[in-house]
């Protein structure tokens, strides 16, 4: 999955162009998400000097997570999305359909400073909600 | 006169008699008040209008109950944590009583969506936000819980002291009470978390606290019939109704059934949700809590529909807010059999779009909302009655025309086509969400023009020659000629003569083929592309900017992007048209890569240009010359209606 994630990140490099170095997004299966837990494997999309990279990491609960964003995925949804022709569009669709959930671990101004605005806008996150 | 006998029958709320079964619901906060929670003259003037709506029960907008502002969710939300706020609350209670209604004060502790001035928000457990707009969470200790309940009780007592008859605690939208009730946000392991019984403990203690302090006064809670968060681990509908049962057993006098959280992945009140869609939740609430009054109104904007629902016993009280913001005379018009005159809420969610930008709310359909305190916005008899000609029967021209006619002017509208509505008509007829909402604006103008004696002259193009033929017949000319697609912007492009005008296609004046490229991913291009795709054409959108929907209302952006995806419309962003040939459109992206998009029709849907030429042509031909709407600068329905009205009350 790391290789597929890397392909996705390379393909959408424009969306992540403004991300500050070491800012990251963690991806964890929903069954493993808790405030605190024993370390379990996760995927991290992290900004490195050459660009965004997909790396393996360990998730010890969102209280201990240093990432800016956490993408929580239902069983099989990430794998299925990465198989698609347009994986990021499928992630966006899954966010609407409830197959995936974004958790925001920083304030809006911090996310903006870390360069996530384009990505979040592309996903339509500022416009989600039943009042919309 | 009325046939809405169920809506207009007398009722009761606790020990108070109500004149009908209609409740003005405090569905959102106005943001008209001071940053530190005081009610302003602007708010008082608005509430005075609301008090006059004719509802049996009127709820004043939610006040946060705590001095720290942990419960504060909107920048200019009102506060009720101290007696220093009471003088204005007393005035509001008096306005409501003077109008013959039962006065309810809502207490709104936003919990997960609170702490707007702080760096954090309070929650039963630390569950990160899903929307970037809100603050990082802190877990409430048991001391925090006790303090918070005490603050709610004190705020309730204060409301009664100010003269209100009862209070309402809102658990709508994921606010504090909702986040205790929900499995998604309540992951506590003590007696306030775990089972539904435990999760409902905070609510029961809150109800008990208020009821013990104010046993004679009605208490209302707003509870979710559906959170729309169940896919993310929130409550199922079954759990929502178990909680509702707990509230009923705890002794609340009315349950207001609501739908959805602010962060839910689906919409509950937008134009794409059909009226009546959520009624099943009210029906279930009525069955679940047979001894408790049930109020309901989510996506139920029409009085006749509400009357039928009450008649069928689906709920007891019609709870309505946004339709009364759009037309504060709605209830009176319904009572007098004048429903055809109602300015319907079109569900544009302009109100909420502005709130989520921390601005005071406004209403597309009611330009006076929020300006009630300003005499300049009132429709008053004109000091000098004038003969006025209006060029263009779109929303700007018609809004101006009916406002001027109400003031006593003699108004004639000249329209080059054969109907009222201008480009809104084409837009509405191609709208995927709910064409009837936008078409109601056109119908409203048709009805009111007739009732107010506005003379309509169709199929008449206003130009210098025409103006000479009516020279000295009018005192005032209003140019409301709208905007067009700027086809001249394509003059340098090879094959530009093959381009079709999006507005001509949208109006049905020019047919499009079955393989279409739409140049411009703004609202005109999107609506046209979606409707052509829906009719079976292959459609591709080309947009110069990085993203589509740049000129779309924030609350509607995601609908268009979703429709584009669902309909399988390819989108080329950061791309521009280079050439149009018999084979299609040649486009070039930001990196210079050229792509030929095969098409039998290439449609220009932007840029737009104001139809301003008449200002120059008529300058020396009429005493007063004014303009409004897109004829000044291309924007949209909101600016058109508001400018038409503002000009109407002035001239």
Q: Residue ranges per domain, chain A?
A: 2-114
Here the CATH number for the domain that contains residue B450 is 3.40.50.720
B594-598 vs B317-320, strand pairing mode: unpaired
Would you say residue A132 has pLDDT above 80? Answer: no
Q: For the beta carbon of residue B251, count every other beta carbon within 10 angstroms.
A: 15
- Residue B369 falls within a domain, yes or no? no
In the sheet with B624-627, reading across from the earlier edge strand, the strands are B455-457, B410-414, B387-391, B476-479, B624-627
pLDDT in tens, B472-531: 999 999 999 999 999 999 999 999 999 999 999 999 999 999 999 999 999 999 999 999
Distance from CA of A19 to the nearest CA of B (A): 16
Least confident range of B38-52, B226-240, B571-585: B226-240
**Number of A:B CB contacts under 8 A?**
106
Residues A130, B264: C-beta atoms closer than 8 Å: yes
Spatial separation of the C-alpha atoms in residues B243 and B231, rounded to whole Å: 19
> DSSP per residue over B72-119, as a string?
--STT-EE-SSGGGHHHHHHHHHHHHHTT-EEEEEE---GGG--TTSS
Spatial separation of the C-alpha atoms in residues B553 and B573, rounded to whole Å: 19
Whether residue B532 sits in one domain with residue B398? no
Q: Tell me which residues of chain A have a C-beta less than 8 Å from any C-beta of chain B.
A: 14, 30, 35, 62-63, 70, 89, 92-93, 95-99, 101-108, 111, 118, 120-122, 124-132
Whether residue B560 sits in one domain with residue B431? no
Would you say residue A21 has pLDDT above 90? Answer: yes
Whether residue B267 sits in one domain with residue B139? yes
Residues A130, B126: C-beta atoms closer than 8 Å: no
Q: Which residues contact B355 (CB under 8 A, 6 or more apart)?
A: B28, B29, B31, B74, B361
Distance from CA of B347 to the nearest CA of A (A): 10
Would you say residue B2 has pLDDT above 70? Answer: no
Chain A residue numbers touching B129 (CB-CB < 8 A): 103-104
Residue B184, judged by CB atoms within 10 A of its CB (0-12, 13-18, 19+), counts as: buried
Spatial separation of the C-alpha atoms in residues B292 and B219, rounded to whole Å: 11
Would you say residue B51 has pLDDT above 70? Answer: yes
Radius of gyration of chain B (CA): 27
Beta bridge partners of B412: B389, B455
Would you say residue B172 has pLDDT above 90? Answer: no
Residues B555, A121: C-beta atoms closer than 8 Å: no
pLDDT band at B352 (very low <50, low <70, confident <90, very high): confident
Would you say residue A107 has pLDDT above 60? Answer: yes
Whether residue B624 sits in one domain with residue B605? no
Report in angstroms the alpha-carbon separations of B19 from B12, B13, B22, B336, B338. 8, 11, 9, 16, 20
Whether residue B84 sits in one domain with residue B216? yes
Whether residue B571 sits in one domain with residue B527? yes
Q: For the beta carbon of residue B6, count every other beta carbon within 10 angstroms.
A: 18
**Which pLDDT score, from 0 to 100, does residue B632 have?**
98
Spatial separation of the C-alpha atoms in residues B134 and B119, rounded to whole Å: 10
B608-610 vs B483-485, strand pairing mode: antiparallel
User: Is there a contact between B281 and A114 (Cβ–Cβ < 8 Å)?
Assistant: no
- Residue B371 falls within a domain, yes or no? no
> DSSP per residue over B438-483, as a string?
HHHHHHHHHHHHHHHT-EEE-S----HHHHHHTTTS-SEEEE---E
**Which pLDDT score, from 0 to 100, does residue A71 have?**
95
Whether residue B247 sits in one domain with residue B105? yes
Of B128, B547, B554, the CB nearest to A103: B128
Q: What is the mean pLDDT of chain B?
A: 95
**Which pLDDT score, from 0 to 100, does residue B434 have?**
86
Q: What is the mean pLDDT of residues B191-209?
A: 98
Whether residue B494 sits in one domain with residue B639? no
- Residue B143 falls within a domain, yes or no? yes
**Which pLDDT score, from 0 to 100, does residue B1 have?**
47
Q: Which domain holds residue B185?
A: 11-355
Closest A-chain CA to B350: A132
Would you say residue A34 has pLDDT above 80? Answer: no
Whether residue B144 sits in one domain with residue B169? yes
- Residue B282 falls within a domain, yes or no? yes
CA triple B213-B150-B186, angle to 5 deg: 120
Spatial separation of the C-alpha atoms in residues B272 and B268, rounded to whole Å: 9
Distance from CA of B247 to the nearest CA of A (A): 24
Would you state the structure tokens that stand for residue B34, as one six-digit string? Answer: 């001071």
C-alpha neighbours within 13 Å on the C-beta side of residue B498:
22
Domain A2-114 in CATH 3.40.50? no
Residues B187, A35: C-beta atoms closer than 8 Å: yes
CA triple B349-B353-B355, angle to 5 deg: 115
Whether residue B265 sits in one domain with residue B126? yes
Distance from CA of A98 to the nearest CA of B (A): 5
**Which pLDDT score, from 0 to 100, does residue B546 have?**
87
Here the CATH number for the domain that contains residue B232 is 3.20.20.70
Q: How many domains does chain B have?
A: 3
Q: What is the mean pLDDT of residues B302-322?
A: 96
Would you say residue B231 has pLDDT above 60? Answer: yes
Whether residue B255 sits in one domain with residue B121? yes
């Amino acid at each position: 999955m790391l290789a597929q994630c890397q392909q996705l990140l390379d393909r959408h490099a424009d969306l992540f162009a403004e991300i500050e170095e070491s800012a990251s997004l963690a991806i964890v299966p929903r069954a493993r998400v808790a405030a605190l837990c024993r370390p379990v494997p996760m995927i991290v999309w992290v900004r490195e000097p050459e660009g965004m990279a997909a790396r393996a990491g360990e998730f010890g609960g969102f209280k201990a997570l240093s990432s800016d964003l956490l993408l929580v995925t239902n069983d099989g949804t990430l794998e299925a999305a990465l198989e698609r022709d347009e994986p990021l569009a499928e992630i966006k669709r899954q966010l609407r359909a409830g197959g995936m959930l974004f958790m925001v671990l920083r304030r809006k101004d911090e996310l903006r400073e870390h360069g996530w605005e384009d990505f979040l806008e592309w996903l339509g996150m500022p416009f989600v909600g039943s009042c919309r | 006169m009325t046939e809405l006998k169920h809506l207009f029958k007398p009722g009761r709320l606790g020990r108070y008699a109500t004149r009908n079964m209609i409740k003005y619901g405090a569905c959102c906060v106005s943001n008209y008040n001071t940053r530190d929670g005081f009610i302003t003259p602007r708010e008082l003037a608005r509430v005075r209008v609301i008090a006059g709506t004719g509802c049996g029960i009127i709820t004043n907008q939610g006040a946060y109950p705590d001095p720290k502002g942990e419960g504060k969710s909107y920048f200019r939300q009102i506060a009720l944590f101290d007696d220093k706020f009471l003088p204005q609350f007393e005035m509001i209670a008096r306005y409501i009583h003077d109008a013959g209604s039962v006065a309810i004060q809502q207490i709104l502790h936003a919990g997960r969506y609170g702490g707007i001035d702080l760096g954090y928000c309070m929650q039963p457990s630390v569950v990160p936000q899903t929307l970037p707009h809100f603050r990082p969470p802190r877990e409430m200790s048991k001391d925090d819980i006790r303090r918070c309940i005490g603050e709610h009780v004190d705020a309730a007592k204060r409301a009664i002291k100010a003269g209100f008859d009862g209070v309402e605690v809102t658990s709508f939208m994921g606010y504090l009470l909702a986040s205790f009730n929900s499995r998604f946000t309540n992951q506590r392991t003590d007696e306030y978390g775990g089972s539904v019984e435990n999760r409902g403990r905070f609510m029961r203690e809150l109800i008990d606290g208020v009821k013990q302090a104010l046993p004679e006064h009605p208490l209302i809670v707003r509870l979710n019939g559906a959170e729309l968060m169940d896919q993310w681990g929130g409550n199922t509908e079954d759990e929502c109704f178990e909680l509702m049962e707990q509230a009923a057993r705890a002794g609340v006098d009315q349950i207001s059934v609501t739908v959805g959280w602010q962060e839910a992945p689906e919409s509950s009140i937008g134009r794409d949700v059909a009226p009546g869609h959520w009624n099943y939740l009210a029906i279930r609430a009525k069955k679940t809590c047979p001894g408790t009054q049930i109020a309901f109104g989510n996506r139920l904007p029409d009085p006749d529909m509400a009357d039928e629902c009450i008649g069928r016993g689906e709920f007891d009280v019609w709870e309505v807010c946004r339709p009364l913001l759009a037309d504060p005379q709605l209830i009176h018009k319904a009572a007098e059999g004048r429903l055809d005159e109602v300015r319907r809420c079109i569900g544009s969610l302009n109100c909420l779009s502005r709130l989520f930008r921390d601005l005071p709310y406004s209403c597309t359909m009611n330009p006076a909302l929020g300006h009630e305190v300003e005499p300049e916005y009132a429709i008053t008899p004109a000091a000098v009655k004038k003969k006025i000609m209006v060029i263009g029967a779109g929303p700007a021209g018609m809004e101006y025309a009916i406002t001027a006619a109400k003031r006593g002017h003699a108004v004639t509208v000249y329209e080059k086509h054969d109907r009222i509505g201008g480009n809104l008509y084409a837009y509405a007829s191609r709208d995927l969400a709910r064409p009837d909402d936008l078409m109601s604006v056109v119908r409203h103008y048709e009805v009111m023009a007739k009732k107010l004696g506005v003379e309509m002259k169709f199929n008449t193009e206003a130009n210098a020659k025409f103006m000479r033929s009516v020279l000295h017949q009018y005192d005032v000319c209003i140019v409301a000629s709208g905007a067009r697609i700027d086809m001249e912007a394509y003059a340098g492009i090879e094959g530009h003569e093959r381009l079709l005008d999006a507005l001509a296609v949208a109006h049905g004046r020019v047919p499009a083929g079955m393989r279409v490229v739409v140049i411009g991913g703004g609202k005109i291009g999107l609506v046209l592309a979606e409707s052509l795709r829906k009719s079976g054409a292959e459609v591709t959108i080309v947009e110069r900017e990085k993203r589509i929907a740049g000129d779309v209302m924030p609350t509607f952006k995601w609908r268009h992007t979703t429709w584009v995806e669902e309909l399988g419309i390819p989108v080329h962003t950061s791309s521009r048209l280079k050439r149009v040939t018999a084979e299609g459109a040649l486009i070039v992206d930001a990196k210079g890569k050229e792509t030929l998009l095969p098409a039998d029709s290439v449609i220009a849907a932007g840029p737009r240009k104001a139809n301003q030429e008449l200002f120059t042509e008529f300058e020396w031909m009429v005493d007063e010359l004014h303009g409004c709407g897109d004829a000044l600068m291309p924007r949209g329905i909101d600016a058109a209606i508001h400018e038409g009205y503002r000009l109407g009350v002035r001239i």
